[in-house]
Structure 1
Amino acid sequence: MTGRPTARGPTGAFADPRVRGALGVGVLFLAVQLLALAAAPRLAGSGVSYGDGGDALVPLVLGLAVGTVLSLAVVRYGASRRLVRGVMLVSLGAAQWFALSAFLGPVAGAVAAAAGTLLAWRVPRPAVRNAVAVVGVAGGAALFGASLDPVYAAGALVLAAGYDAYAVYGSGHMLDMADASADLRVPSMFVVPTDDGYDDAATTVTGEGRPAATLLGAGDALFPAMLTASVAVASRWAVFVPGDFVDTGLPFVGEFHVAVLGPLVGSLVGLAALQTFVHRRGGVHAGLPFVNGGALLGWLLVTLG
């Protein structure tokens, strides 16, 4: 697809690269939600979690802090890119393992996660890195969703949205982190090309001023998916989970709980609002206030309604 319509190219709304980019990001965002939704009950059912209640808030905050420090160390202090890239790739592999082991088992999941990490490192194509990022982000969301009660997960979303707004509009260090991610070429964001020949995550516009790619930070997909997964585990709704975890008692059957739709649909509405805002205003904006706000509103409407 190209940034301008051709005789055989996209027509109508799809000729607009902004529309194609928004739709592509939406598909990846939804894929994270659905994979986390399927994996979290399986992890909880097999006892893979950071504990009960709010115990997982500590490793969640520590993980985000370490990621921030590593990214800023590269941009502001010239830290070894090879070392930081290695740490981030190991973290990515671990996150993938949580998602893949839920379906393949620990050994096969580890092999698949290692293969995905190797691909992300050696194949610099957006499609490959997006696929690896979907699995990794979903794995992190599933793990924390299996560990946190919905109230604690909701609290984490509120704090993360506030931090994101400050980091973008206040200190500005979120922009440095985005630059570090592009420089390290580690799939810590989703990149949907909207211009032919796009192959550089650091380039967001073409030489003619057209959008070259639509970007979405991994955290913008992780946090709302975490709440969705947490609600699924708390309501004991499951997809392909052994029967002892499911209310029906039947093997590989789960009861559908409408509560799961609250944060899922709400976050999609928030993502649509974010894309509309970005395309009208331009520039870089904090995504978590939109997607987390939508997820929280949807969760509250279903929970209190």
Structure 2
Amino acid sequence: MSEHTMRSAASYAGLILMMAVTSLLAVLLIGPVTAAGLGAFEDPDSVLNAFFFIFAMLVVTAVLLILIKWKAQQVISLIIGFSLAAVIYYVVMALLQQLGLGIWADIGGVIVGIGIIALLWLYPEWYVINLAGIVVAAGCAVIFGVSLSLFPVLILLVLLMIYDFIAVKRSKHMLTLADGVLRQKMPIMFLVPKTKGYSYRKNGLSIRDSKGERGAYMIGMGDVIMPAILVVSAQVFAGGEGVLSVFGLYLPALGALIGGIIGLLILMVPVNTGKPQPGLPLINGCAIIGFFLCCLIAGSWGWLVW
């Protein structure tokens, strides 16, 4: 095996590891987040939740595109920083509440949230971005996963598959958005180095070294969050007594996780061409297939009953 192939394989393994760790951390956070009463929607069974999610995402996208056009980089930084700090706050607060810390749980969440955003601002290296990104992605996944039952989640993932394809391949506004937002060097993506000595602080958005070889592989945070939402929802709504599990992870949730990983691996083939690729059609599609296959194996169809 050539050195080039080995480096590529190591980078793939890194991306797989981050997807797996994010989903598993989100599953571990189900208890604390549920106990803290955190949730995005009051009625988890409402299909309208999926459409509200899409609508809210489109509004945020439009606002960011306008700010990018106006070159309002500081405003973009504030929006992203506040949003990420809020998610980190909720995760830390929920965990600290398990220790019965009361108001100190909220104070601890604020301190950690501000501290991580400050670290990202002062030292935006790829491993700092990845660690913060895992916390943020897991937090988003568990908050939406526990407040959306499986049918709305499946509709949401299918709608996002369509949207991602159009946004990247047709309108291409997602490329403009990614370029503008990535300049803030915040954890809205995951980076896995391929070449030795790669530094996001020094290389910035350039993912190729001086010889033209790819310096790092990059995947958007949304490509990790969306299948993780299905994993969490499957764990909550398709699990229970009599359903097969592996180390506490119910088979439908495990199927969604494995399917998402397979989709990511398939995605790496067109990504190697160097052209931007929509990730969700493959990742969400394979996660959904994995979920249904494992529901079939486990005989877990109770979530279909309204």
Range into which the TM-score falls when normalised by the shorter chain: 0.7 to 0.9
Match of 2:229 in 1: 226
State the Cα deviation string for residues 31-88 of structure 1 (Å, max 9, x = none): 111111111343224422122223643653344224422432243x224111111011
Q: Does residue 265 of structure 1 match 2:258? A: yes
Q: What pairs with 1:103-122 in structure 2 (closer than 5 Å)? A: 103-105=95-97, 106-107=105-106, 108-122=108-122
Asked whether the equivalents of residues 124 and 186 of structure 2 are also in contact (C-alpha less than 8 Å), the reply is: no
Q: Which amino acid aligns with 2:148?
A: L
The count of corresponding residues between Structure 1 and Structure 2 is: 279
> Within 2, Cα distance between the matches of 1:205 and 1:255?
41
Q: What pairs with 1:149-168 in structure 2 (closer than 5 Å)? A: 149-168=149-168
Q: What pairs with 1:1-305 in structure 2 (closer than 5 Å)? A: 12=2, 16-49=6-39, 50-51=41-42, 52-54=44-46, 56-57=49-50, 60-75=53-68, 77-105=69-97, 106-107=105-106, 108-195=108-195, 196-199=197-200, 200-235=203-238, 256-279=249-272, 281-305=273-297
1:197–1:43: structure 2 CA closer, same or farther, 3 Å change rule?
closer
TM-score, normalization by structure 1: 0.83
> Within 1, Cα distance between the matches of 2:138 and 2:239?
19
Unaligned ranges ≥5, structure 1: 1-10, 238-246, 249-253
> Within 2, Cα distance between the matches of 1:60 and 1:115?
29
Asked whether the equivalents of residues 164 and 281 of structure 2 are also in contact (C-alpha less than 8 Å), the reply is: yes
> Within 1, Cα distance between the matches of 2:95 and 2:4?
36
1:56–1:35: structure 2 CA closer, same or farther, 3 Å change rule?
farther
Match of 1:5 in 2: none
Identity of matched residues, %: 26
Asked whether the equivalents of residues 95 and 136 of structure 1 are also in contact (C-alpha less than 8 Å), the reply is: yes
Q: Report how far residue 180 of structure 1 moved.
A: 1.0
> Within 2, Cα distance between the matches of 1:102 and 1:147?
15
Q: Report how far residue 262 of structure 1 moved.
A: 1.4
Q: Report how far residue 22 of structure 1 moved.
A: 1.7
> Within 1, Cα distance between the matches of 2:228 and 2:165?
19
TM-score, normalization by structure 2: 0.83
Q: Report how far residue 185 of structure 1 moved.
A: 1.8
> Within 2, Cα distance between the matches of 1:302 and 1:236?
11
Q: Report how far residue 98 of structure 1 moved.
A: 3.0
Q: Report how far residue 221 of structure 1 moved.
A: 0.3
> Within 2, Cα distance between the matches of 1:256 and 1:163?
30
> Within 2, Cα distance between the matches of 1:66 and 1:31?
30
Q: Report how far residue 208 of structure 1 moved.
A: 1.2
Asked whether the equivalents of residues 13 and 19 of structure 1 are also in contact (C-alpha less than 8 Å), the reply is: no
Match of 1:6 in 2: none
Asked whether the equivalents of residues 87 and 139 of structure 2 are also in contact (C-alpha less than 8 Å), the reply is: yes
> Within 2, Cα distance between the matches of 1:60 and 1:100?
24
Q: Provide the alpha-carbon RMSD of the alignment.
A: 2.3
Unaligned ranges ≥5, structure 2: 98-104, 298-306
Q: Which amino acid aligns with 1:304?
A: L
Q: Report how far residue 16 of structure 1 moved.
A: 4.2
> Within 1, Cα distance between the matches of 2:220 and 2:251?
28
